[in-house]
Amino acid sequence: MTNITNIDSGQAGWDGVINTNFKNLNNMVIGGRNYFSLEKFKRSQYREDYLEMPSVNLQLAANTTYTVSTNIPARDDQGTQDLFAGNAGFKAVSGTNGVKAGSPLTVTTNNTGILQISVRNVSLNTGQYHVQVELGDKATDWCPAVEDTAQVTDTGWIRDGITLMNGAKVYSNFLGDTPAFRIIQLGAVDMLMLSGSVNGIAITKGWNLTLNVATLPQLVTDWFSEHQMVNTHFDTRAFGVQYGWNFYNGKIQLQYCSETSDDTFWINFNHVFIS
C-alpha cells in the first residue's frame, strides 16, 4: 500500500503501472508491456518543431534500451517512413530514426528517459495501425497498452455520508472544500481519494492530542479494511501547529501538537491512497 499525499487527481495518471512479464534469454530482453498508450497519445500529443508532426513523449527509464515497432508501411519505394522514434527533440530522418512494418527500431534513452514518438500522414485512431514500445532489443507481437485495455470503475466524487464532528464546519461553499471521497479501480490498481477543507475546530493546548473530525461511510471503511489499512496515518502541517490525519475505526482523526488554542483552525485532508 502506498500513501500519496497532497496529489492533484488530474496528476494521477497511469504511467507508473508496469507489467513485469518478460523473460531474459541469452542476455537479450524479450517481451514486456507496451508503453505506447493510444489514449495518452490522444490526450497529450503536441506538434514537434521540425516537421510539426503529432508527437507524444513517453517517460521511460533513463539509459535503457527499448524497441519500437509498427505495422505502418513505408510510404513509397524510396523507403520514406511515417513513424519516428528517438530521444526527445530529434529531427526526423527516415533512414535514421524512422520505423516501418517489419523494421523495428532500437533506441537507448538518455539521462532524461524521455522517448519521443512522432507520426505523420496516417491516423492511429482507426485501429488499422498500431505502435509498440517495449523494453529490450527485440520486437514481439503487438499488444495494446494496459492503459488502453484495463476496465475502469469510478464512483465519481461522493459528498454524502461524511459527517463532521466536534465543531468542524465546511470551510466554504466551494465544491472542493466539501468533504468528499472517490474510489477508482483500473484493472488491479485501486485508488481512494479523500478531499475537503474544514475550520471551526476547537483545538486545545498540548502535545500528541487526538480529536475526531469526521465519520466516514461504510463504503470507505470497507475499502480501508479490504486493503488491510486498519490504522492509517498521513502527515501534513499548518502554521503554528504540527498535525497529521489518522484513519481509525471509521473516523478521520486529527492528531496534533499546539502551544495555543484556536477555534478557527483551518485544515484540509486532500489525500490519495493507491493499492
Q: What is the reported pLDDT for 257?
A: 76
Residue 216 C-beta-side C-alpha neighbours within 13 Å: 25
Q: Tell me the residue type at 248.
A: Y
Q: What is the reported pLDDT for 221?
A: 87
| 73 to 35, 92, 101, 154: CA distances (angstroms) | 21, 16, 5, 39
Q: What is the reported pLDDT for 262?
A: 59
**What are the domain boundaries of the chain?**
20-147, 151-274
Angle at 39 between CA 84 and CA 116, to 5 degrees: 25
Q: What is the reported pLDDT for 241?
A: 59
Angle at 33 between CA 117 and CA 137, to 5 degrees: 70
Strand partners, 117: 56, 85
Q: What percent of the chain has pLDDT over 90?
A: 40
Would the CA dihedral through 61, 67, 68, 71 be positive or negative?
A: negative
CATH of domain 20-147: 2.60.120
Say whether pLDDT at 4 is over 50.
no
Give the separation between CA 33 and CA 132, rounded to whole angstroms. Answer: 9
Q: What is the reported pLDDT for 204?
A: 76
Closest CA to 89 of 122, 130, 46, 131: 46
User: Is 228 buried (19+), middle (13-18) or exposed (0-12) by CB count in 10 A?
Assistant: exposed
Which of 22-31, 149-158, 163-172, 264-273 shows the lowest mean pLDDT across its residues?
A: 22-31
Contacts of 149 (CB under 8 A, 6+ apart): none
Give the separation between CA 238 and CA 266, rounded to whole angstroms. Answer: 8
Closest CA to 111 of 85, 91, 87: 87
Which of 61-75, 104-118, 156-170 shows the lowest mean pLDDT across its residues?
A: 156-170
